[in-house]
Structure 1
């Protein structure tokens, strides 16, 4: 099963030459190197020992998102299992079995872990060549460094991945590691120091007032075991962690693990062909909607043919594709009985964009709304108090009329995809506590299988009739702003406290910001905030699309600086081996479905995967589609060519398993007898 389908490929993965001899000297081995199993079975799961700190939980999150099975031992749980030799290893079918291919600890020696447990872990790691990550340590001997020569926050600085690491598991990266945390307080606290002999620096930093090139992450060798130690703080959405996480997971698992990772970035432009009402800065309202009568009308916002030409040129220059969610009625209303220049321009350039049905007229498909009150409420049937909902026939007509428009103009839509106006029809408490009961039947009647939802209120997938939802991340540029001045004014209004002139809604969750400058605030505040949030989604292996509206493609064209910042930042951090992927809505649906189904199968104990002497065996109870990451040259039983797709200097992909399948890895490391004791070695 292939889940990472895009409408247009965005670059070819370049080949990477692994300099094996140099890596063996440094101890940073290529992803294809195998543990010295010597006939032992190494189960493909990771042991995560957590104390609840954000650093070890960041690894837990990254492993889960990638799809790597984990067993968690919570050090705060008095009923937790004791970590001893019997917990870590046993024998299966007459051969030694290592139950974990990697170990993640909060630090080199967590205080909650008994000395005997830590000794058992170290003996296990030596016996089976299993690697360990220590999520955070103070600088010093335990971390493999001299006494720190810098203690302080690194936020705003940039570190560097070492050349040896870039030739191994971190070959997908260009080298820079920005230290940024999406927090109001500096959280990238570090203790940077010179590495001790036997420690290979992974990330170095030039900290203020300290010698250049001090280490904040390194790999230490300890009598036959390898441990990656970090001495800088981070969370799961810290930029330093997001850049390093794929490589650290590959290092931990030696590049062979269940699950896979990608960088996704789809952007939907809603309301294409419609005119949009305009925000009125001096009144903090939308003309013709919630403004008082004395405000009067304001010009509507609608793209032009020039905006289409600009979008086509911009996409070509930036090697990126936007998806246009269109409303056909806007074309008819703009030029009754005549040709609409905007429609003509879009149809002429239809192959440059993705296209999504956004319903014919953008009618709200939830309840029938009563606008006689502000904010609006759902209308009710008199006396009975029942909510009045848009009926099934109206919903189906809105879908079909827009499909007919696409057919007439040759727009290349997937007729099974749909974005409803305002995500209408789906529940959105408090005013819409439940879905429109007529929605599911209308979707089934019209063949809709993929339905957009709003990730800010409904981040997870669910079924609506026979359709799967695809949650979309909003970019905080609203439907009623087309200029930088309008954007900053509305941004300030919805994001600041009452005392600062905002509507105060941010006070409920403490998310209020200081007002942005009306003149410079768009470039200085809005663009960095929105672009950096979107980039965090991209780096978190999150395929959910982002969305804005057609006013952001006209007048001041406010979406482009945000997209340019995301694309520029991503491409400055990662090589062409790890291209940004632009999935269709259906591809996103399949990715999310596949992940959820695989996670359920693992949680139900239906998947068993392990390596023995360079052969991966995956056994399942019934049919399971399995994601796997492996070195180039891996061959799947019964399939031609190399397994998977090139991505990030490894190969990865999905394959069906009905009972059991094997994969042969390209190389194996030197063999050793895993039953040999540490003392005998």
Structure 2
């Protein structure tokens, strides 16, 4: 603080110059029924909406044609932790809208949507929609789906939005924009379009700039991101001369497709010039799955309600038992006793898992979960002892290498239409006998809280005796087939309460087209072509449409999409699939290696894939369901002081802040898990208040009765750390050279380091 005396109106004025600093909160740091084929994986060009070309932004977005609102200096802002999404409902921009909102849903960020095509009052924006006129803003990020949105907003509304983002330092993202100098700081270069040609060739491979590598810190610095997709349309751009533009993503000619534009008034605007669609089968529109997390993280300055992890838990069903096998000679099944693993298969799988964890990036947490049937072990047991050299003996030797899941004792069908009917006693025995076998075999990583029934039986329709028996035996989580209508996750990473026993959570699990009866590539290829190649059978099984490599690429593309959606669901395989078909290779491990290879093509080594157990998956789903029902509301203030309020009890995940006794570090970011009761308010302290360094070079000039003040802009605090002043307050009182400033003494508040009193 610097004081000075000056002559004005013939009286002595004592002028206090106070620096107002905005420490913006915003600074960071069964196997299947053999008669029913699995669901077909869609082709890359199926069910894709048209990505619309865009019009150049309307003239009203040119700031020179409107009167900007004067800067409002808000030195103590409070922002709701919520995103505002603006979209135009009159055009087909559903793919872009889905991309923008899908990952808000997946992560769990609160958001509000506004359809600008509705007109007054639903589709218009007033200042009171954005803030209270004092210091409370209702959104901490603004998303605009496409630049066509501006055709639904008038110049006054655009100015209101611009003023809000400027005064509250709220960041904006336009997810698909036509390059133009005034709103985006970008010049149009060229159109890039797929032409709806069902191509599998990328239009180009995009690369990160150094700034882009920082923003998308989870992606490889040397990223080669294929811009590919059916009916993909977009533009490349170049920074407008003189504009403050930071390119983040470039095409192969060095032109810009993603950038941050700073108009010079405090606003920051991320702009993407390529269309997007979610969900498409990778590699189609893979940018719509790889980029959203970084975009959202940037827009919220790395602090948001919600969280993300990447998960993959492989579960090969029917371990220890006999099952069906595919016969290449008859092109049909050898039922029931056609296949059983050998001890060498388990040795091979355990060795593979150990090696894969240590050699493949992001795979250190991989752990295979083994759904087993205890009845299969009986042939390996005599005189209450496990016979040496048997499959069961090997399972005992290697039990600590795996997680073991109750798959019922004999894989009995527990559906209500079975004869004899599987009543309470039968269901109870199927569950409890397997638990007793797990104890007898010494399976240490086993829980009595999770169950997978044979062929998902007893689930659809529900067998109430199964549910009651399971509940009484402590089961709280039961797997269901996510491919069955009505049994997929209702919302991201949530389960379904059992219809007759709601204390049991139904936990969806992914199927895939690695067939349950296949052990070798030849068997897998034969089965796949029988189902999906119309000419294969007619040609006498001599003209397949798909090779093993093509099949595996297609199947893992689907799984890659689930992985990039941060889905907690486990993935179903079958015990046949980890049979060693030669050289230590298996169908299941081929799948896993290819999946992780795709992931590691794009992701840095600092974002591990986790393998939660079934009961952990269920707990994560329950936690997410409670979070969704909590009606949590967050506010962030200066220094990242955060206030949370919940209507219902839940554990609230908060990314970007380390607070409390349950903090996780994942992929370079802290995530706090905050247990809150119903109607509880929690205050998370922010950074210690920082004091701006005193102004030491105040210059005073007189011109008649006018007094002009000037000084150097404040750039550090009292400790010499960087600090930006957003306002300076000048206080004055007549005839009192030693006064203490009060609000009544405020003479002016200015944004620049100068002031003239007239």
Aligned in 2, Cα 1:44/1:392: closer, same or farther, shift over 3 Å?
same
User: What is the distance in 2 between the residues matched to 1:318 and 1:190?
Assistant: 40
Take 2:315 and 2:517, find their aligned partners in 1: how far apart are those partners?
16
User: What is the total number of aligned residue pairs between the two structures?
Assistant: 583
- Equivalent residues of 2:80, 2:633 under 8 A apart: no
1:383-462 superposed matches below 5 A: 389-412=421-444, 413-427=446-460, 434-457=461-484, 458-460=487-489, 461-462=495-496
Tell me whether 1:343 sits opposite 2:392 in the alignment. Answer: yes
Q: Return the match for 1:624 from 642, 645, 650.
A: 650
Pairwise CA distance, 1:66: 0.4
Q: Distance in 2 between matches of 1:673 and 1:362?
A: 72
Q: Specify the alignment match of 1:650 in structure 2.
A: 669
- Is 1:595 paired with 2:624? yes
2:704 corresponds in structure 1 to: none
Query: 1:134: how far off?
Result: 0.3
| Whole-angstrom distance in 2 between the partners of 1:500 and 1:44 | 56
Instruction: Output aligned runs, 1:264-279, within 5 Å.
Output: 264-279=311-326
Distance 2:430 2:414 in 1: 9
Find the aligned partners of 1:200 and 1:235 in 2 and give their Cα distance.
25
Decide whether aligned partners of structure 1 residues 609 and 284 sit closer, same or farther in structure 2, where only a CA change above 3 A counts.
farther
Distance 1:288 1:416, change over 3 A: same
8 Å contact from structure 2 (residues 345, 579) kept in 1: yes
Select which of 173, 176, 179 maps to 1:139.
179
Tell me if 1:190 matches 2:223.
Answer: no
Q: How far apart, CA to CA, are the structure 1 residues paired with 2:77 and 2:184?
A: 30
Query: Residues 368-424 of structure 1, C-alpha deviation per residue, up to 9 Å, x if partnerless?
Result: 44xxxxxxxxx6xxxxxxxx7421111110111111111011112011111111111
Residue of structure 1 equivalent to 2:411: 362
Using the TM superposition, name which of 592-601 and 61-70 deviates more. Answer: 592-601
- How many angstroms does 1:475 deviate by? 2.0
Q: Deviations 1:620-654 (Å, cap 9, x if unpaired)?
A: 235332111115xx4x3xx36xx721112211131
Instruction: Note closer, same or farther for the CA distance 1:565–1:288 as it changes in structure 2 (3 Å cut).
Output: closer
Residue 114 of structure 2 corresponds to 73
Q: Verify the 8 A CA contact 1:40 1:96 in the aligned structure 2.
A: yes
Q: Are the structure 2 counterparts of residues 331 and 671 from structure 1 closer, same or farther at C-alpha, using a change threshold of 3 Å?
A: farther
1:674 to 1:188, Cα distance in 2 relative to 1, 3 A = farther
TM-score (norm 1): 0.79
Which has the higher Rg, Structure 1 or Structure 2?
2
Q: Residues 562, 517 of structure 1: CA spacing in aligned structure 2 closer, same or farther, 3 A cutoff?
A: farther
Query: What value does the CA root-mean-square deviation take over the aligned residues?
Result: 3.0
State which of 66, 72, 83 in structure 1 corresponds to 2:125: 83
Give me the whole-angstrom Cα distance separating, in 1, the residues matched to 2:83 and 2:94.
18
Task: Tell me how far 1:70 sits from its aligned partner.
Answer: 0.4
- Kept in 2, the 8 Å contact 1:276–1:479? The answer is no
For the pair 1:531 / 2:552, whether they are aligned, the reply is no
The 1:180–1:582 alpha-carbon spacing in structure 2 relative to 1, beyond 3 Å, is farther
Partner of 2:28: 32
In structure 2, do the counterparts of structure 1 residues 278 and 62 end up closer, same or farther at CA, with 3 Å as the change threshold?
same
Partner SS for 2:186: coil
Maintained 8 Å contact 2:536/2:544: no
Change (3 A) 1:233 1:89: same
SS at match of 1:426: coil
Q: Distance in 2 between matches of 1:560 and 1:599?
A: 36
Matched, 1:259 2:286: no
CA contact (8 A) 2:406 2:450 kept: yes
- Which of 90, 96, 104 is residue 63 of structure 1 equivalent to? 104
2:613 to 577, 580, 584: 584
Task: Go from structure 1 to structure 2 and tell me whether the alpha carbon gap of 1:622 and 1:489 turns closer, same or farther (over 3 Å shift).
Answer: closer
Write the distance in 1 (CA, Å) between the matches of 2:543 and 2:161: 55
Structure 2: which 5+ residue stretches go unaligned? 1-24, 30-72, 195-200, 280-284, 358-365, 490-494, 691-722, 730-747, 753-758
Unaligned stretches of 5+ residues in structure 1: 1-28, 207-211, 290-298, 370-378, 380-387, 428-433, 503-514
Closer, same or farther: CA 233–334 of 1 in aligned 2, 3 Å = farther
What secondary structure is seen at the aligned counterpart in 1 of 2:152? coil
- Please state how far the C-alpha of 1:583 moved relative to its aligned partner: 0.9
**Contact residue 50 and residue 57 of structure 1 kept, 8 A:** no
